[in-house]
Amino acid sequence: MMIRDERQKVGLKKLLRVVVVAGPLLVIAHPLAAEERNVIVSVPGIFGPYCAYGVEKRLFELAGVRRVDLLWEKEQIRLSIKDDKTVTSEQILAAFEKSEYPYDYKILGQ
């Protein structure tokens, strides 16, 4: 049993070293993560995944778009954009044009 106990001690020491070294790096990296802002786009008539996929694909082509959330029940799309990036209303509307979304859409808020 002595050998197993020694191995456990060595394994715990290695784990402790990893935590001591990596832990502070994780804490330091967190504040460096870019903040984001949200843009809400009204998309009445977006019922199926085909239209949603086309729009989502074009929105992700914009530099700085981090996330695209489809809010089906509200018929809206919420874009999460990194604060350090500039995405204009014109770029968002051009992405909708490029996706050939057939219904009316408009930006509600930024």
Nearest one of 34, 24, 47 to 81, comparing CA atoms? 34
10-57 pLDDT, tens digit per residue, is 555 554 454 445 445 444 444 445 588 999 999 998 877 777 888 999
For residues 34-61, one letter each, b for 16 or more C-beta atoms within 10 angstroms of the residue's C-beta and e for the rest, the string is: eebeebbbbbeebeeeebbeebbebbee
Cβ 41 vs Cβ 79: under 8 Å: yes
46-78 pLDDT, tens digit per residue, is 877 777 888 999 999 999 999 999 998 899 999
Nearest one of 51, 63, 61, 52 to 87, comparing CA atoms? 63
What sign has the CA pseudo-torsion 47, 49, 50, 55?
positive
